[in-house]
Chain A
Amino acid sequence: MFLNENIKDQIKPVALSVADVRKSFGKVDVLKGIDLKIDAGERVALMGPSGSGKSTLLNCICGIEPVDHGSIHVGGQELSGLKRGELEKVRRENMGYVFQSFHLLPTLNAFENVEFAAQLVGMPKEHRLARVTDLLEQVGLSHRMDHLPSALSGGERQRVAIARALVHHPRLVLADEPTGSLDTESGSQVLKLLKSLSEELEVALLLVTHDHESTRICDRVITMKDGALLAG
């Protein structure tokens, strides 16, 4: 396999560790000392009302938002103190992201969208083509690989997004309300996929959701309120 094989062998099986992370915007304390650990292959659901700090936490984890205090390790790598280029590297190599509204690149077709993420980590071509084809097959879209996102249904788009989030063997997949824009049936398909693929690929999943149904695929559920975690 590819370079992540090496890393996988070396590091402890902790995909994400968040220690006493604080973040405030102006006078508003959004994150008030968050501690969270997710092991490799573990699926955690993060619930909480709107404005409880879920999105901010997610942004801090993927390094888009710097923290005021505390530390975040992704795949054993401490984020704080990294330069922008290094952060981008951590992000593209160790993380996958699934958005509520899919966020596929509109000018690339399904295959290219998935391949794009693989290209970003420099996966060699032969390996890449096989991997993309394989993944799209796994998400059930091998017959629609050359369609532009605009020609796909919501569920299909999200399945492409899942494939894209996993194509480069990330340690951690962050999924932000992945079923929020989908009907029930498509939503449960997407959840199933997330579960099976994360199990199969031993990828940690942090699933942000409002929906109790979604938490079923997770190993544990944590709830956030007013910038703090209620249960672990």
Chain B
Amino acid sequence: MGHYFLLLGIVAVGVGAFNGIRQASRSASANFGLFNQAVSGQSDFLIESPVQRLLEEDLAKLTRLSKEPDWHLVPVIEGSVTAVKNGSEDKKQLRLIGLDLLALGNLPTLAKEGLKFSDEDANWYDWLGSKNEVWVGQKTADLLEVKQGDSISFLASGRLVKMKIRMILNDPDGNLPDDLVLADLPTVQTLLSRPGELNRVEVVIDQVNRREDTAYLNDIENRLARELPQNLSLAPTQNRAADRAAMTAAFRLNLTILSLIAILVGAYLILQALDAAVVRRRSEIATLRSLGVDGSILFTTYVLEALVLGLFGSVAGVGVGQVLAFGAVGMLSDTVNALYFATSVEALNLTSIDVIVGLVLGIVFSLLAGWLPARDATQTPPAQVLARGDWSPGFSWLRSPVIGLGLLLLGGIALLFPPFVMEAGSNMPVGGFLAAGCWILGAALLSGHVLVLLAGWVRPFCSGPVFRLASSRLRDGSSRHRLAVAGLVVAVSMVTGMFQMIDSFRGTIEEWFDVRFQADLYISESGVTGAGTVNGIDPRLMDELLKDPNIKYADVMRICYAKPPRGVTVLAGVDMKHWSDQARQIWLKAPGSLQAVDGAEPALVSETFARRFGVMAGGVVELGTPDGTKKISPFGIFCDYGNEFGMAAISSDIWSDWTGSDRPINVSLYLRDRAKLLETRDRLRLAYPGLDVRNERELRDVALGIFEQTFKATDALSFIGLAVAFAGLLLGLLSIFDESTQTWQTLKHLGFSTHGFILAAGLEGAGIGVAAWVAGAITGLALGWLLVFVINVQSFGWTLLWTVPVESILWFGLLLTVVGFVSGMIAAIYWNFRR
């Protein structure tokens, strides 16, 4: 019975890992950066500019549209600020949302809920336009340890400002994220030093009960579109959700595939366990056969058992998924923040689709796993035949290397497939994933041979009865031994592959850092990390800072989003002369090695950009900018690991012309007197508390910090995969001992000690661990190569330096051996106790 609970648990963890990741990644990127919707409610359409920045003159052009009572136009400005807790070093990055707090009262949801911004009804307007008042939800207030009326310091756009908490917003349903700060729109413009700027205008229809009425929505959309200024675009909000979903699609698919491995391992285990059940009941089955019970009945019985197991396991798995999702969601939102766009966690919600997907996956895999043992059961001979001697079950396919070798070959062929281009312009390395799948499966099938081979080598050196027994059993390589190794190999190869990719990534980034970052000091907005926060520094503040006498040269960088034909990319304004001549880069194609096309703006582009838009050998890319569609043409390609959307750098003045902005995102300083580096750094830090002033070492630490963040989810999945695999090892060993009941009885009669039995079991476990490690590490090396040279290049567009973390792999091997040994002993003790 305990056996079955363990089995249910394994199905549950497999399904749970898959579902948990699914839910967590959805919730982590569900709000798609529309934080204001926590306050203003769901919007129906978005009015945006290609660079996600609107000017008030754009808004003025929308006045005509604002007259219609059928909708509400909600202008939004958002940015990030860093809260500095009074009297402490504790900093917390927050989303600052600016909305027209008065007009909010017109919105259908707010009118209904009566969100109040002030306690005193009689002074209902006095908070309008106040320069220093903000509103937060209870969660944020708790986090910042503030209450109504308290002051709090923010670092915003490089400045330190003191704001007053006007009121804690009433949020009975807990919809407001814990990092949300709300203020009146002009207040936020001032706070972020972005006067006259907005991010977008959201459109909320007035008759929210007609949201399902497509014809009505189409009509509204047409009416909006008729009056829309040329330079702005209108799209249903759900399109943005779809866009954002597409942006992270590759990332989420990667996670999903990883989490599927947990299910795959789980299925192995079910197979193993059901097969063990068949073995345990072999004589019973044989008797039934003698009595003339039809094979198909036996088959149905075992398949049904798998079905029940799958069903209950999946139901439990849906629950486990919820739990895992709770753990994973924060991690994933950090990753999404760092890699893609600003997001905050939305409440986890379990949809009926989740339940269905979980159940279907669990049941299908369980059925697949149940099929082989069921077939095995039907092949059991009648009792009289069985009694004549040892009868060995099928699984000849596990003993034949043909299928395994075939899969390895198939994987090799899959590498020739081109990547699949997804909606948002990101690439999905289908061939790479297919190859990975084939190789893992092939290796799993062949791992039994590795076990037998290794045991054969070791056996001559085994002299004592315990070692002899263990090695002879391993060398014999029963189907169940092979299955146990195979299950473990899947997890081991996955983890080894991941180790390598992460190590390669880290190594590459370190190398890139050494070359790329040669300036003395780096300055950016305080507290801001990741791709999701393009806030920038107040240009006036920057002008002031650059007057510092010790600055010889400042490499100022400005960035904004630009709209290529597909997806989104980053357009940077830089000092082209400095970038081409002085600034060191890892050049894939040195400046000048490509000829910029006449009539297009010459640009230095990142490898990712070049690969995405097919300009590795030069050419033109059209980008939507606030100043209309512009052409750029690369004359050099540099390596960059910042984001997967790619970056094109053009000359600063052209950038300002195109964007109408001169807001820097960061600046690299070269000093006159490098001996005074620290002194200069400290001076700047003191003068500009809202800016992060870092030297190369400090910058590297920050960047690697982001890097580690990014791989948290991967680590967690590897851990889950391993945990499932070890649970499986335990289960596998139990089945193996069950199968060997007669042997243990014999040994008992021979006076073989219990200690000897436990030790032998431990050795068997260790042997399985070692075999899985050897087969898994070899597969893992191949997977590492695949991840670095195929999957990363195709899906992210960057080439990494392949690093094999030999030491980690060796330690991992040791760990596997030890865990295998301990698992063996635990299984034996449990088995012995159960007898």
Interface residues of A (CB under 8 A from B): 62, 64, 84-85, 88-93, 95, 97, 99, 103-108, 112, 116-117, 119-120, 125, 149-150, 154, 164
Contacts of B747 in A (CB 8 A): 105
Contacts of B389 in A (CB 8 A): 150, 154
Q: Given contacts A116-B465, A116-B468, A119-B464, is CB(A107)–CB(B752) below 8 Å?
A: no
Closest chain B residue, CB of each to CB of A161:
B746
Compute how far the CA of A167 lies from the CA of B778 in the bound complex, rounded to whole angstroms: 45
| Stretch in contact with the other chain, from B69-77, B471-479, B495-503, B562-570 | B471-479
Contact among B476, B742, B754 for A84, CB-based, below 8 A: B754
Known: A88-B753, A103-B745, A150-B389. 14 other contacts (CB 8 A): A88-B752, A91-B749, A92-B751, A95-B751, A105-B469, A105-B472, A105-B743, A105-B746, A106-B390, A107-B469, A108-B472, A116-B750, A120-B750, A149-B390
- Does A119 contact B743, Cβ atoms closer than 8 Å? no
Compute how far the CA of A154 lies from the CA of B472 in the bound complex, rounded to whole angstroms: 22
Contacts of B743 in A (CB 8 A): 105-106
B747-780 to A contact mask, C-beta < 8 Å, 1/0:
1111111110000000000000000000000000
* Sampled A-B contacts (22; CB under 8 Å): A84-B754, A85-B753, A85-B755, A90-B751, A91-B750, A92-B751, A92-B752, A97-B749, A99-B749, A103-B746, A104-B746, A105-B746, A105-B747, A106-B390, A106-B743, A107-B473, A107-B475, A112-B472, A116-B469, A116-B750, A117-B750, A150-B389
Closest chain A residue, CB of each to CB of B751:
A92
- Nearest-neighbour CB distance to chain B for A10, whole angstroms, equals 21
- Nearest-neighbour CB distance to chain A for B461, whole angstroms, equals 14
Chain B CB within 10 A, most for which of A62, A97, A103, A106: A106
User: Which residues 585-629 of B have a CB within 8 angstroms of A?
Assistant: none
User: Which residues 374-396 of B have a CB within 8 angstroms of A?
Assistant: 389-390
Closest chain A residue, CB of each to CB of B474:
A107
Compute how far the CA of A107 lies from the CA of B463 in the bound complex, rounded to whole angstroms: 15
- Does B751 contact A119, Cβ atoms closer than 8 Å? no
- Does A97 contact B754, Cβ atoms closer than 8 Å? no
Contacts of B746 in A (CB 8 A): 99, 103-105
Compute how far the CA of A103 lies from the CA of B747 in the bound complex, rounded to whole angstroms: 9
Contact among A97, A103, A108, A154 for B469, CB-based, below 8 A: A108
Compute how far the CA of A170 lies from the CA of B766 in the bound complex, rounded to whole angstroms: 34
Interface residues of B (CB under 8 A from A): 389-390, 463-465, 468-469, 472-473, 475-476, 742-743, 745-755
Q: Given contacts A62-B749, A64-B748, is CB(A112)–CB(B742) below 8 Å?
A: no
- Nearest-neighbour CB distance to chain A for B377, whole angstroms, equals 21
Contact among B472, B745, B748, B750 for A107, CB-based, below 8 A: B472
Q: Given contacts A112-B472, A119-B464, A119-B465, is CB(A93)–CB(B390) below 8 Å?
A: no
Closest chain B residue, CB of each to CB of A94:
B751
Compute how far the CA of A92 lies from the CA of B469 in the bound complex, rounded to whole angstroms: 16
Compute how far the CA of A103 lies from the CA of B468 in the bound complex, rounded to whole angstroms: 17
- Nearest-neighbour CB distance to chain A for B290, whole angstroms, equals 18
Compute how far the CA of A93 lies from the CA of B752 in the bound complex, rounded to whole angstroms: 11
Closest chain B residue, CB of each to CB of A97:
B749
Compute how far the CA of A106 lies from the CA of B476 in the bound complex, rounded to whole angstroms: 9
- Does A120 contact B749, Cβ atoms closer than 8 Å? no
Compute how far the CA of A209 lies from the CA of B799 in the bound complex, rounded to whole angstroms: 77
Contacts of A104 in B (CB 8 A): 746
- Nearest-neighbour CB distance to chain B for A39, whole angstroms, equals 23
Contact among A93, A112, A117, A150 for B468, CB-based, below 8 A: A112
Compute how far the CA of A125 lies from the CA of B465 in the bound complex, rounded to whole angstroms: 12
Closest chain A residue, CB of each to CB of B755:
A85
Contact among A88, A106, A112 for B751, CB-based, below 8 A: A88
- Does A120 contact B465, Cβ atoms closer than 8 Å? yes
Contacts of B472 in A (CB 8 A): 105, 107-108, 112
Chain B CB within 10 A, most for which of A91, A103, A107, A149: A107
- Nearest-neighbour CB distance to chain B for A79, whole angstroms, equals 13
Compute how far the CA of A120 lies from the CA of B752 in the bound complex, rounded to whole angstroms: 7
Contacts of B745 in A (CB 8 A): 103
Compute how far the CA of A120 lies from the CA of B466 in the bound complex, rounded to whole angstroms: 9
- Does A97 contact B750, Cβ atoms closer than 8 Å? yes
Closest chain B residue, CB of each to CB of A118:
B465
Contacts of A164 in B (CB 8 A): 750
Closest chain B residue, CB of each to CB of A90:
B751
Contacts of B755 in A (CB 8 A): 85
- Nearest-neighbour CB distance to chain A for B729, whole angstroms, equals 20
Contacts of B473 in A (CB 8 A): 107
- Does A108 contact B468, Cβ atoms closer than 8 Å? yes
- Nearest-neighbour CB distance to chain A for B796, whole angstroms, equals 50
Closest chain B residue, CB of each to CB of A89:
B751
- Nearest-neighbour CB distance to chain B for A106, whole angstroms, equals 7
- Nearest-neighbour CB distance to chain B for A227, whole angstroms, equals 23
Closest chain A residue, CB of each to CB of B392:
A150
- Nearest-neighbour CB distance to chain A for B212, whole angstroms, equals 68
Q: Given contacts A106-B476, A120-B465, is CB(A93)–CB(B751) below 8 Å?
A: yes
- Nearest-neighbour CB distance to chain A for B384, whole angstroms, equals 13
- Does B468 contact A91, Cβ atoms closer than 8 Å? no
- Nearest-neighbour CB distance to chain A for B481, whole angstroms, equals 10
Compute how far the CA of A67 lies from the CA of B822 in the bound complex, rounded to whole angstroms: 35
Compute how far the CA of A104 lies from the CA of B747 in the bound complex, rounded to whole angstroms: 9
Contacts of A92 in B (CB 8 A): 750-752
Compute how far the CA of A107 lies from the CA of B483 in the bound complex, rounded to whole angstroms: 18
- Nearest-neighbour CB distance to chain A for B121, whole angstroms, equals 83
- Does B468 contact A120, Cβ atoms closer than 8 Å? no
- Nearest-neighbour CB distance to chain B for A93, whole angstroms, equals 7
Compute how far the CA of A117 lies from the CA of B750 in the bound complex, rounded to whole angstroms: 7
Closest chain A residue, CB of each to CB of B746:
A103
Contacts of B390 in A (CB 8 A): 106, 149-150
- Nearest-neighbour CB distance to chain B for A82, whole angstroms, equals 12
- Nearest-neighbour CB distance to chain A for B469, whole angstroms, equals 7
Nearest 5 pairs between A and B by C-beta? Answer: A92-B751, A91-B751, A107-B472, A103-B746, A107-B476
- Nearest-neighbour CB distance to chain A for B133, whole angstroms, equals 78
